[in-house]
């Protein structure tokens, strides 16, 4: 059986994290969460690595919370802060490239945006679909989307919960490369190869400096998102929406 999260060296100093939970279509299953935590821990403790490429499999990058997780949130039995998926790339000491070759859905899209570099696929869908179910966004989405996409597009994505193809986002002027799906990993590798030419200590020092405002500002927004969840998950109809609309 293939690993749900696979680590593979892609060249000197370059390590790829491949999310491939085919059973759950890369929703945040317990196996995927544990695998990502182990992968980033391994990378943190390995001084040979200079850059990480985070990617998915086939048509899926990351698909957000499972249906059971969303229902547990609605019942007040869980909080998304029980794992730090949303901040793993941000807190990784070395640069992380999100090679989003497949769909990025809900918290999965937000997680990818916390990387230092982002590459999208023209054909894939990207969405922050929290409001589709009637509850407000989590996973730091209300923080990272305005930072990375601009306030106007971020508000539209968060409030409408619409699906956007990568090609459409490219036309809207997002500041990331958008390439055909089969070229996403190749593009990420070319970028990684320009990074590994630099000394690891310098990469770490500069990343620490560049992302310091994000690391400092994120906790307060996470608290606000949790407070909004306390208000919105318990509304009438939310559990019904999760039960009937999930996966559509």
Residues taking part in catalysis: 229
Cα(180)–Cα(176) distance, integer angstroms? 13
The two tokens of residue 229 are 């969840």
Burial class (CB in 10 A: 0-12, 13-18, 19+), 152: exposed
User: Do 17 and 23 touch, CB atoms closer than 8 A?
Assistant: no
Of 132, 128, 160, 79, nearest in space to 241 by CA: 132
CA distances from 27 to 20, 36, 130, 173, 244 (A): 10, 12, 14, 28, 17
Burial class (CB in 10 A: 0-12, 13-18, 19+), 220: exposed
Cα(174)–Cα(166) distance, integer angstroms? 9
Angle of the 238-245 helix axis to the 67-74 helix axis, nearest 10: 170
Give phi and psi for 129, each to the nearest 5.
-95, 20
Of 37, 59, 43, 58, nearest in space to 10 by CA: 43
Residue 247 DSSP one-character state: T
User: Do 51 and 189 touch, CB atoms closer than 8 A?
Assistant: no
């Amino acid at each position: 059986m293939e690993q749900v999260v696979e680590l593979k060296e892609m060249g000197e100093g370059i390590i790829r994290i491949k999310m491939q939970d085919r059973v759950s279509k890369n929703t945040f299953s317990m196996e995927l969460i544990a695998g990502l935590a182990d992968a980033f821990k391994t990378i943190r403790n390995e001084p040979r690595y200079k850059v990480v490429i985070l990617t998915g499999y086939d048509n899926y990058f990351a698909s957000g919370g499972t249906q059971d997780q969303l229902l547990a949130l609605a019942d007040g039995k869980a909080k998304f802060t029980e794992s730090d998926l949303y901040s793993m790339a941000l807190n990784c000491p070395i640069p992380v490239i999100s090679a989003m070759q497949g769909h990025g859905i809900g918290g999965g899209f937000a997680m990818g945006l916390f990387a230092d570099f982002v590459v999208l696929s023209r054909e894939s869908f990207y969405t922050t679909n929290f409001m589709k179910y009637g509850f407000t966004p989590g996973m730091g989405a209300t923080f990272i989307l305005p930072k990375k996409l601009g306030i106007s597009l971020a508000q539209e994505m968060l409030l409408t919960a619409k699906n956007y193809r990568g090609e459409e986002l490219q036309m809207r002027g997002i500041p990331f490369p958008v390439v055909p799906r089969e070229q996403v990993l190749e593009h990420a590798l070319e970028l990684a190869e320009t990074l590994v030419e630099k000394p690891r200590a310098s990469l770490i020092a500069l990343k620490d400096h560049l992302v310091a405002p994000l690391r400092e500002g994120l906790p307060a927004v996470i608290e606000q998102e949790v407070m909004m969840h306390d208000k919105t998950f318990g509304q009438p109809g939310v559990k019904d929406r999760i039960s009937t609309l999930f996966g559509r």
